[in-house]
Amino acid sequence: FFQNLNIKMHFEDEETCQMHDLMHDLAQMVGDECLLVDSPSEYVNENIRHVGIVNNSEAVLRSASLSNTPSHLRSYVKFEKYLGYSILPISDFDGNISSLRRLRVLFLKDKRYESLPESVGELIHLRYLKVCVDAHYLPEGITKLRYLQILDLEGSLNLRELPREFYRLTSLKHLRLRAEGLVSVNTSLIDMPPRFGELTSLQSLDRFIVGENNGLDALSGMNLAETL
């Protein structure tokens, strides 16, 4: 935040800054709900809403497993040491769905799996879903995520088609089908799902396929703010 403010306001480079007491109190209050787990001795208590695992040793993963976390968890992520983003293996996800029902953000990454669990549709509060698996198809259950705003499929290189009732994702604003930094297409998609043009909340789309289900006219009623 301070770096962005410094750039926008053209301040001189500052190494320190003074924080108002009210801002400090707010940061502490919010921080009480967050926990970064770096050792097996750290306990996920009932006040914790956001868990981040920064040490992927077996002992740490066992102590902070989903079965040991509160049911009101909002985020549960494991930070990859070199990739710079957080992931949750599907093997952890599918067996602990009851601990994840209030999640807003979820990254699913596991190349050992060729499909997503149908139970992903039970996470009705999801706003951001990133999927990186070897799946050829996404489960129809994903269309139950009526509050989903961002769907990132850039890591699912073998995806052939989207669910037929994809149009039910009426809150979807951003759909990503292309790998970051790549100009060429990186998926095996052969067509867009039927009634794709009904996604009128969609603001950004990095790829559109003209096929049997949709022609270019499907884009005419959409409010895309970014160029394909």
Range 130-138 average pLDDT: 80
Q: The tokens of 93 are what?
A: 């996800």
Summarised one tens digit per residue, pLDDT across range 183-195 is 445 457 788 888 8
Q: Cα 91 to chain center, whole Å?
A: 17
Nearest partner of 37 among 72, 70, 65, judged by Cα: 65
Q: The tokens of 172 are what?
A: 């979807």
Where is average pLDDT lowest: 30-44, 93-107, 213-227? Answer: 30-44
pTM above 0.85, yes or no: no
CATH 3.80.10.10 fits 88-228, yes or no: yes
According to the model, what pLDDT value does residue 98 have? 60
Q: The tokens of 225 are what?
A: 């703010």
Nearby residues of 121 by Cβ (< 8 Å), 6 or more positions away: 139, 140, 141, 142, 143, 144, 145
In 3-state terms, what secondary structure has residue 209? coil
- Give the start-to-end residue ranges of the domains of the chain: 88-228
